[in-house]
Amino acid sequence: MADLPFIEDIRAELDDRFRAREVAVTRGRDLIRAAANAIRALHRGEWDAADEKLAEADAIRDEIIAHLSSQPAMFDAGFFTDAVKELAEAHLTRALFRGDPLPGPADLSIDPIPWLHGLGESVGELRRRLLDLLRDGEVDEAEGLLDAMDDIVDQLAEIDYPDGMTHGLRRTTDVARSLTERSRADLTTTVVQERLSRRLDSWKEQIR
């Protein structure tokens, strides 16, 4: 049998990768959970609770990065990019809700690709917020959110690279565009109904 002394070195390297992966997978789930809880708090208007969950998610991200630092190739693994995509979505949703400047990939210590996906998926959170505003009669604020949705879709549409590079960003953009158009229809219907209601009220006043 051939003498293969490097097999033990390979085994040791794979053991290191496996340990890093297990930590990243487990803590990635925790990161996703913290980001999701932050978004839920944002929709309830619980800003302090949302910031607390975002800080927790940021700390978990830093922990995962530290564990993967010796295995840089694993930063492209799906379990990591999915987790930080959710982190980006939560941070971007907060900024969009509050009218704050958007944090970029460098601000969140993540790669631009999951950041772009997080931006695209934030459109879904904007739609949910827009519908809540319409129910509360806050049409002007809803129009501002629709403008933000339009801007996001327009910017994402300009990222024209192969799907292999962007991990299917085109599909994320298509979904965001569909949600934006549905939101435009909902907003238009509400505005038309309000105008008709005002005209009816005016007519009733005139015939009294």
The secondary structure of 121-180 as a DSSP string is: HHHHHHHHHHHHHHHTT-HHHHHHHHHHHHHHHHHHHT----HHHHTSHHHHHHHHHHHH
Predicted confidence (pLDDT) per residue in 133-188, tens digit: 999 989 999 999 999 999 999 999 999 999 889 999 999 999 999 999 999 999 99
Sequence spans of domains, the chain: 1-99, 111-208
What pTM was computed for the model? 0.88
Residues with Cβ within 8 Å of residue 190, at least 6 apart in sequence:
134, 139, 142
Overall average pLDDT of the 38-53 stretch: 97
Overall average pLDDT of the 24-44 stretch: 95
* CATH fold match for the domains 1-99 and 111-208: yes
- Enter the CATH code of domain 111-208: 1.20.58.2140
Lowest-confidence region among 31-35, 40-44, 78-82: 78-82
Predicted confidence (pLDDT) per residue in 86-118, tens digit: 999 999 999 999 999 999 999 999 999 999 999
- Identify the pLDDT of residue 73: 74
1-99 is a CATH 3.40.50.1240 domain: no
Q: Which of 119, 94, 95 has the alpha carbon at shortest distance from 105?
A: 119
